[in-house]
């Protein structure tokens, strides 16, 4: 795993995780003066997709107070990434568009899983995607959907899984593995530091 140190990306991550969670919402309440085209432009989606998703037949007759579902501006792919003696259950979140997109590896804490405690990464991944940043999150050995025995989990195995998950995601066509970041919660933060230290 090669982690590129870029101050702008680091600053973006800190700011986005604190402020962009709201931008990843998939519903919008119509207010006076809204048009379907303005709403679509604000969410960077085609207005026809919003109309179809919400059963709108007259695009000129939006009712104030109507809650519209907004199509996601990203795709999530669930994969099993092969390692030497076990598979790594992972989810890769890729923004819509041609890319290539920078990527963030998300590491969970002890006893948690790839969604992180309270579903934190379920919120962070779409927020990053809304900002044009892909992500990969996965279950460490013995956690979440991992079928490997937790007794085999240690810092070495965690860093190895991190490197393999990153390499897999970075090999995808719309991912730019040269613009990468890593984040972790609790013990995942320790693993993030260890993995970054091996890959300056």
Per-residue pLDDT tens for 106-149?
A: 999 998 999 998 899 999 999 899 899 999 999 999 999 999 99
Helix%, strand%, coil% for the chain, nearest 5: 40, 25, 40
27-69 belongs to which homologous superfamily?
A: LysM domain (3.10.350.10)
Nearest in space to 73 (alpha carbons), one of 17, 13, 118, 28? 28
Domain boundaries, the chain: 7-21+73-198, 27-69
Would you state the pLDDT for residue 14?
34
Q: Which architecture, in CATH terms, is 7-21+73-198?
A: 3-Layer(aba) Sandwich (3.40)
Nearest in space to 140 (alpha carbons), one of 196, 75, 185? 185
**Rounded to a whole number, what is the largest CA-CA distance in the chain?**
60
Percent of the chain with pLDDT strictly greater than 90: 66
**More confident: 1 or 27:** 27
Maximum average pLDDT range among 3-12, 23-32, 40-49, 185-194: 185-194
Equal CATH topology for 7-21+73-198 and 27-69: no
> Would strands 101-107 and 175-184 be described as parallel, antiparallel, or unpaired?
parallel
* Backbone dihedral region for residue 111 (phi beyond 0: left; psi -120 to 50: alpha; all else: beta): left
């Amino acid at each position: 795993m090669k982690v590129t140190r870029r101050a702008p990306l680091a600053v973006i991550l800190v700011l986005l995780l604190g402020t962009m969670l709201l931008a990843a919402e998939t519903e919008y309440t119509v207010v006076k003066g809204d048009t379907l085209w303005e709403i679509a432009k604000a969410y960077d989606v085609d207005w026809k997709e919003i109309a179809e998703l919400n059963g709108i037949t007259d695009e000129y007759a939006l009712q104030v107070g109507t809650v519209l579902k907004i199509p996601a501006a990203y795709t999530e792919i669930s994969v099993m990434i092969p390692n030497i003696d076990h598979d790594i259950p992972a989810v890769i979140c890729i923004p819509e568009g041609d890319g290539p997109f920078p990527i963030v590896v998300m590491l969970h804490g002890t006893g948690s899983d790839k969604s992180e405690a309270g579903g934190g990464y379920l919120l962070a991944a779409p927020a990053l995607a809304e900002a044009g940043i892909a992500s990969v999150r996965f279950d460490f050995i013995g956690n979440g959907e991992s079928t490997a025995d937790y007794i085999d989990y240690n810092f070495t195995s965690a860093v190895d899984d991190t490197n393999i998950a990153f390499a897999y995601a970075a090999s995808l066509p719309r991912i730019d593995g040269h613009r990468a970041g890593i984040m972790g919660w609790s013990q995942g933060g320790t693993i993030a530091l260890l993995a970054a230290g091996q890959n300056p």
